[in-house]
Chains A and B, each alone.
Chain A
Amino acid sequence: MDLPDQQALREPSQRVSARAVRMWTVEALFGVAWLWVGLVVWWFFDADSRAAQWVVGAVLLVFSVGYVTIMPRWRFRVHRWEATSSAIYTQTGWIKQERRIAPLSRVQTVDLERGPVDQLFKLASVTVTTASAHGPLKVHGLDLRVAQELVEGLTEAAVAEKGDAT
């Protein structure tokens, strides 16, 4: 029952690409833009509550600026990954953070995804799934070349494994 006292898990060794900050900024801008669209619509359809609209607009402005400037940098400081010959280890999140580890022997699929914003910045995200429907490992904002190499390495390791990885 008594377990040996452990040093904390260290952080994964690799950072994601520095361009990821810009990618997240663009994504944040798109996210925030929807709120502004909502405000503008409200402005046009309801001319009687200008005061409330100014207040909401001010709050939204502070929130937007904060979100767009802070979130990407905070994320960049948190997001890390590491792949070895036996396991993959990621750390993601910003306000809520998580670390995931999966042994390569349990890896089932390795996906490389490039959304439009990813492509703009020559980035890619890699998703590693295991036999558990819960919690695939994702690494966002990887440099495209790094991502491709990672996928190749992981795929080789996964193919080499026998058994159904459950």
Chain B
Amino acid sequence: MSEQPPDPAAREHRDEVLAEDAPPEPVAPVDSSPVPAPAAPRPAPAPAAVPEPATVPVPEAVPELDWRRLDARMLLVHPLETLIRSLPAVLAIFLARAGSDSSERWELIAVPLILAYGALRWVTTRYCIQGGQIELRRGLLHKQTTTARLDKVRTVDLTAKVYHRVLGLAKVEISTGSSAKERLVLDSLRVDQGRRLRAELLHRVDPTITGLPAPTGAPVDATALGDTAFGDTASGVVQGGDVELLRLDPSWVRYAPLTLTGLVTAAAIVGFASQVLRTVGDESQTIKSGARWVGALAWWTDVLLLMAGVSVLAVIAYVLTFWGFRLTRNQRGSLHTRRGLLTNRETSIDHTRVRGIRFDVPLGLRLAGGRRLKVVTTGLSHERGGSDWLCPPAPAAVVTALATTIVPDEDAVRGPLQQHGTAARRRRLTRTVVPVLVLLAAVMAATLVWSWPWTIVMPLPVLVVAAVALARDRYAGLGHRVTPEHLVAGEGSLDRRRVVLNRSGIIGWKVEQSFFQRRAGVANLVATTAAGQQHYDLLDVPLERAYAVMAEISPDLLAEFGGSACASDTPLPPPVPDAQ
């Protein structure tokens, strides 16, 4: 059906073949894209690709497996989605047609094609859980099979857009790899069916790793989840024993204008509007008069208007994203968030995959005493914007308390950070002040040479002051701390963050030194990890301090490669000759 993979980028990070206890069958998606069709705008399929549904191979082909389909109501949703996605094209056709007097309406052919396409997608998509694997098959001409081992399941997302919610459906996204692209998407199941599948997947994972019995006793087998799943029996599995850690307080909306979300939304809207205007073109009269009206106002009124507009957008974005935000933890520690006003989103994070947490304290939030919290986990990568929220922008006290519940390490969450010293401070200053000075010099020279007005130079000294302030604030945010359980790294000013990384999540070290860093005796100590950003850095640490941190966290490595004196108390194995 889809001749080319819907999302070519999905192949990029696929090659992370795990050299571990070899699974009996391929672990990750083999040669198929895990993302089903709704990935990119696509034209209606060619008529040739629409056979009678009866000719489609039906589940009887593999009678011993219990193949399940997506919910039949997707027959309504898929065409709708396709229509929405092809709306720009439809609009373009409509507008092009508006000028001509041709009475042919051949674009109407698209509607039955789209309907048939949706039906075909529903008919050809099947999934089954069998033998410790979940398998997803789809496609008619271009068949794709995606399999994933159940004990590889790291997170399960349920997303319900407005039309999903009207129909009681939810899209289930199962993430299996450290790269976000490795995932299975079931679009869509009934909400309760999706939740039951989620419980099934996550519970299946836990007993094998933690050695704890699943709360439902024996693992549910595939048939129990199958066609009888239209009851409500399993909802107790999801709800039972959950502890609510956080619920959104509507007054936190006041933090929304202090983040960049408003600006980003505004930029997106302006971009979209300008594009639409360029297509439509003829509304310019209203625009012109509007622009004239804005231009006639005093400049501070304009600024106020702009700020008000951005703030309103930020508040709207906050409400849309975080309405009803709820963070719960089930009895075995898996985290579960639910949020969204129109689009409902539920994310479940297997606790064995959590490697730490991250506080985001951008400047605006910091001045207002707020912050936000994200989780650092494998299976959710930063490209997948937004599923890693543990707390939306909220008062610092709330966030810190929440963080201590999730990471019971008071020192790591609250403790002061060790600063990186004079060299680091000097480097912060050079980095912000030198570019400003260069700019200042360039503008001065230009003013002298081309006799630009001196008013251009006037604001530049203010920039120098701002640069110094920025450098000082960046230095103030820079620091680290080592606790018995965690490595804490802080950095940044405008986007200050503090990462609390579990020591056991660190899977390698890197010490990098540029030429100037070597002269200053400092280094960047990089802890690599399979979670979150994949690496967390301590910038401009004095070199001996960097090695001390490494020695503290990975004493055996330092013992092996360290210099003469080794502070590690643990007895070391005798040095072993090289691998050769």
Contact B561 A101 (CB under 8 A): yes
Question: Within 8 Å of chain B (Cβ to Cβ): is A48?
Answer: no
A155, B16: Cα distance in complex, Å: 15
B-side contacts of A102, CB under 8 Å = 507-509, 528
A-side contacts of B531, CB under 8 Å = 166
A133, B408: Cα distance in complex, Å: 28
Question: Within 8 Å of chain B (Cβ to Cβ): is A64?
Answer: no
CB closest residue in chain A, given B149: A164
Question: Within 8 Å of chain A (Cβ to Cβ): is B251?
Answer: no
Contact B558 A132 (CB under 8 A): no
CB closest residue in chain B, given A102: B508
Question: Within 8 Å of chain A (Cβ to Cβ): is B247?
Answer: no
Task: List 8 interface pairs A-B (beta carbons < 8 Å), by A numbering.
Answer: A3-B482, A6-B565, A7-B566, A9-B511, A86-B573, A100-B511, A103-B507, A156-B579
| Contact A6/B528 with A86-B556, A153-B579 known, Cβ cut-off 8 Å | no
B-side contacts of A163, CB under 8 Å = 20-21
Question: Within 8 Å of chain A (Cβ to Cβ): is B100?
Answer: no
| Contact A4/B535 with A97-B513, A149-B580 known, Cβ cut-off 8 Å | no
For residue B312, give the distance in angstroms from its CB to the closest CB of chain A: 38
B-side contacts of A24, CB under 8 Å = none
A33, B543: Cα distance in complex, Å: 38
For residue B383, give the distance in angstroms from its CB to the closest CB of chain A: 11
A-side contacts of B512, CB under 8 Å = 93, 96-99
Contact B508 A132 (CB under 8 A): yes
Contact B16 A108 (CB under 8 A): yes
For residue A35, give the distance in angstroms from its CB to the closest CB of chain B: 22
| Contact A134/B578 with A10-B562, A98-B512 known, Cβ cut-off 8 Å | no
A164, B534: Cα distance in complex, Å: 16
Contact B557 A101 (CB under 8 A): yes
Contact A7 B565 (CB under 8 A): yes
For residue B579, give the distance in angstroms from its CB to the closest CB of chain A: 2
Question: Within 8 Å of chain B (Cβ to Cβ): is A119?
Answer: no
A129, B19: Cα distance in complex, Å: 10
A166, B378: Cα distance in complex, Å: 8
Residues from 116 to 135 in A contacting B, C-beta threshold 8 Å: 129-135
Question: Within 8 Å of chain B (Cβ to Cβ): is A75?
Answer: no
Task: Give 6 nearest A-B pairs by CB, closest first.
Answer: A153-B579, A7-B563, A4-B567, A131-B530, A166-B530, A102-B508
Contact pick for B152, options A100, A109, A152, A164, CB 8 Å: A164
B-side contacts of A5, CB under 8 Å = 544, 548, 567
The binding surface of chain A is classed by DSSP as: mixed
CB closest residue in chain B, given A96: B514
CB closest residue in chain B, given A13: B578
Question: Within 8 Å of chain A (Cβ to Cβ): is B143?
Answer: no
Question: Within 8 Å of chain A (Cβ to Cβ): is B281?
Answer: no
A-side contacts of B545, CB under 8 Å = 3
Determine which residue in B481, B512, B515 has the highest number of CB atoms from chain A within 10 A of its CB, and name it: B512
Residues from 139 to 153 in A contacting B, C-beta threshold 8 Å: 146, 149-150, 152-153
A134, B535: Cα distance in complex, Å: 6
Contact pick for A99, options B179, B507, B511, B573, CB 8 Å: B511
A12, B418: Cα distance in complex, Å: 29
Q: Chain A, 78-113, contact with B by CB distance < 8 Å: what is the 0/1 string?
A: 000011111101000101111111110011111000
B-side contacts of A7, CB under 8 Å = 547, 562-566
A73, B567: Cα distance in complex, Å: 35
B-side contacts of A101, CB under 8 Å = 508-510, 550, 554, 557, 561
CB closest residue in chain B, given A4: B567
For residue A40, give the distance in angstroms from its CB to the closest CB of chain B: 32
CB closest residue in chain A, given B154: A166
Contact B560 A86 (CB under 8 A): yes
Question: Within 8 Å of chain A (Cβ to Cβ): is B473?
Answer: no
| Contact A84/B576 with A4-B551, A6-B551, A162-B21 known, Cβ cut-off 8 Å | yes
Contact A149 B563 (CB under 8 A): no
Determine which residue in A4, A95, A162 has the highest number of CB atoms from chain B within 10 A of its CB, and name it: A4
Contact A82 B13 (CB under 8 A): no
CB closest residue in chain B, given A7: B563
Question: Within 8 Å of chain A (Cβ to Cβ): is B113?
Answer: no
CB closest residue in chain B, given A100: B510
Question: Within 8 Å of chain A (Cβ to Cβ): is B526?
Answer: yes
Contact B481 A1 (CB under 8 A): yes
Question: Within 8 Å of chain A (Cβ to Cβ): is B529?
Answer: yes
A-side contacts of B7, CB under 8 Å = none
A153, B509: Cα distance in complex, Å: 21
Contact B580 A150 (CB under 8 A): yes
Question: Within 8 Å of chain B (Cβ to Cβ): is A154?
Answer: yes
A99, B518: Cα distance in complex, Å: 13
Contact pick for B508, options A3, A103, A149, A158, CB 8 Å: A103
Contact pick for A135, options B19, B535, B549, CB 8 Å: B535
Question: Within 8 Å of chain B (Cβ to Cβ): is A165?
Answer: yes
Question: Within 8 Å of chain A (Cβ to Cβ): is B212?
Answer: no
